[in-house]
Structure 1
């Protein structure tokens, strides 16, 4: 037995158990009560339900009916005296007018064409009811199972007697094969074959005489969507748990890093405090270093004084060795060197590269550098003072090294 057969058998048993329980009646009652609470206009929308296209044939051609719930109206006619390609295009046009890619298509014919029999079968046969009916076909009808299309409906379940009342509908294959071939040639893929409840256009009777293997294969989009949503929900649940654990771990790591940082800072503070106490003489060296160096304020004041009014700077950098580099624009850049040579603060002014005109501002764009003027260091009075300055400089360097 194949896996598909096992699955079909189990599904059939589940359907039987569900049909034998009180759940179908409860859900039907619950649905009616919920619909009764809705406004009349909304009830009409819900009453339409799924849409289906019903096709029947007559001498003139094909008639297409559109059924929504219990309502069935004529949807269009397709003349038979057309080429097969035109028939396919005409039916495709009618079907595309319905905004539902999963709309089902049924071929319907008058109910008087079918042979109907009522049978009483044991309730245990419900699991394999179609196979049982196929075995009983030659006993209940003049035909064999492979000569007819058939379907059934359960009219009554007698729980006390443990039997089923079955209504069997049979149609010889020879009466329907030509019609199915014509519909196939017209590009109409059928989901089933049914008969009218009464006159043509009265709606389907609710049967499907077409064998399962001849029905069009459709994908249950709703089932796929539900499975995808279920899988997404499970993934989100797992992701939420992992995210919670990751947040806890991140918080612990952050706290550990803060503790380690506090320990490191405490150690550095202790080391710096000890060095500052051991090298208090470095303060005098730093004072002299500041006194002997040219301040940035003096440099900017002198530079402002020496540059003409039609000159402005775009960039100014000073490195640790006192080398200054400026970039800017001037009305006459060639005269800048002459003015800066008179400075007592700036030495060795020179251009870097060539002076280029700026078409937008109509000025000369220049880049130049110069050196801050270093004041002469006072001569040491004796060897002890000179040694003290040297020790102070080394102490200052040892203090600056950890801070850097």
Structure 2
């Protein structure tokens, strides 16, 4: 059996997307906590102007009246309630917009939530792994059948994190309300007021909202985020500033690169000129040294004549002495021509003397004409054995 280990091109991108999807809930929670912590330092009016108060208009039924309350965030995650007004329940159900005549426009436009009493539903506290916090609602949705006497299709539910433990566990709470009870409570508000609800929360034993939203997503009214305009403006300014900064950085880098290139070319020309002058000077000095050493290593004509006068016998007459390159040629008449080669051999100024051609007798003078050639002993200059620049001298006999 063969196994195909080929990875599809989209596998890497899918993994990245899944990693971002897992990290996003935690990041979103951190940003929300950070924003709430910053907003808690601002006065209430300032928070209201910038939409940082996260205030809600809560509707709860008390006997035959509808009580209107507003959340006042004292600390992040611990809102307080302030009752605003009480309306007869029958009067509220028939009006189109009962809030407009009682509340200021700013409060009337707050997100409206129906607050159910604590006895309306069930709450179950569970311990779960910390990884479950990323998809807490989906995880606890599978626990409804085991933790409550209801089926999952017969209730509306939500979940919240109560606390985190040091052993990698979290304390979570499952809040369940029967579908029929929630629908009846929303229907009792009337079609006009029920359609304006952004969520349904449930109160705890002390009457404070739990912070869950039991209303189905399809029935929630989406209100314009008061911070959206500020966020768009700030993002636009940030993008413009970032673009301008990047453009300025790019322009500065280009200018610096052009200046550096110009300076580099100028210095390269100077360096090339100095190198050429140095090479010319070195070549001239080495040439003069080579000529001097060559001249010093070769016997002069005077030395050759002096050596000949010392070695040749008295009955020898020279007609011509020629020094060409490393060769010396001697032409003359001698009565001892046959022995001249042996007489010249001990000299240190030349080597390998030999007769060139046959001896020619001169009857008029009674002598033999001879022609002798020899190789001058030349001391090679030191510069002649120097290796080319950048190479090392090889030992003799090396290939």
TM-score category of the 2 structures, normalised to the smaller one: 0.3 to 0.5
- What TM-score, normalized by structure 1, do the two folds share? 0.46
Higher helix share: 1
Bigger CA radius of gyration: 2
- What TM-score, normalized by structure 2, do the two folds share? 0.47
